[in-house]
């Protein structure tokens, strides 16, 4: 069996905390690879950059990691984590799945569709985030960077402030495509 850590999110856009999460999971968890799964649509209906752009930015963000890849699987699904995991398990019977999630998402697990089934199918790897205190969560190891703040900096053309928060290749894509302007 190949153990695959599934790291989903809107990645609107991906930033350094996402990259650090991948590095951390590959370095510390008993997994063979990380599969980054951008959401096709936001689960709560928030507007997102085009799916193709977010997929491409994720591909650029994972370039340093030969054991990480990006999946477009949610393009043909309904966006529910359980259904994504079930499809991945069905399509890859030789995979054992784990779900990568930030400690902040533990607070929202009661809002997830059939979270207990998600937990059974892909036992979570919970990552602590600065600024998030949740009972049962590990201590913070990821910096407090949000995609919301990144979008604000892009809109303000604050490229100097953005540089330490977003991979260079992602910034180049943002600028070339005029995203979040």
pLDDT at res. 157 = 94
pLDDT score, position 144: 85
Between strands 33-38 and 2-9, the pairing is parallel
pLDDT at 138: 80
Task: Please tell me the predicted confidence (pLDDT) of residue 137.
Answer: 74
pLDDT for 2 beyond 80: yes
Degrees, nearest 5: CA angle 92-54-13? 120
68-70 β-sheet, strand order: 68-70, 33-38, 2-9, 95-102, 124-129, 140-142
- Tokens standing for 118? 């998600």
Structural domains of the chain ordered from first start: 2-142 (3.40.50.620)
Q: Tell me what pLDDT residue 107 has.
A: 63
Tens-digit pLDDT profile for residues 63-118: 999 999 999 999 998 878 899 999 999 999 999 999 998 877 666 666 666 778 88
CA distances from 107 to 45, 112, 136 (A): 19, 10, 10
Residue 46 has pLDDT above 80, yes or no: yes
Q: What is the pLDDT of residues 116-159, one digit of tens each?
A: 888 899 999 988 877 777 777 788 788 889 899 999 999 999 99
What is the rounded CA–CA span in Å between residue 155 and residue 158? 8
Q: Please tell me the pTM assigned to this model.
A: 0.92
pLDDT reported for residue 105: 65
pLDDT at residue 81, as a whole number: 87
Residue 2 CA from chain centroid, whole number:
20
Q: Is the pLDDT of residue 175 over 70?
A: yes
DSSP 94: T
Average pLDDT over residues 9-30: 96
What's the rounded Cα separation, in Å, for the pair 96 and 92?
9
């Amino acid at each position: 069996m190949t153990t695959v850590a599934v790291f989903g999110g809107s990645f609107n856009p991906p930033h350094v905390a996402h990259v650090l999460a991948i590095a951390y999971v590959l370095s510390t968890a008993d997994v063979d690879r990380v599969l980054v799964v951008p959401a096709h649509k936001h689960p709560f209906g928030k507007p997102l950059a085009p799916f193709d752009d977010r997929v491409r930015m994720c591909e650029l963000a994972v370039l340093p990691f030969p054991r990480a890849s990006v999946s477009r699987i949610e393009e043909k699904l309904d966006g529910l984590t359980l259904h994504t995991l079930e499809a991945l398990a069905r399509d890859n019977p030789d995979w054992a799945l784990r779900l990568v999630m930030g400690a902040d998402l533990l607070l929202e697990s009661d809002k997830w569709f059939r979270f207990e089934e998600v937990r059974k199918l892909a036992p979570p790897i919970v990552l602590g985030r600065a600024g998030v205190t949740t009972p049962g969560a590990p201590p913070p190891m990821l910096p407090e960077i949000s995609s919301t703040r990144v979008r604000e900096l892009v809109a303000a053309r604050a490229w100097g402030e953005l540089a330490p928060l977003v991979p260079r290749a992602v910034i180049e894509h943002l600028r070339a495509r005029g995203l979040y302007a």
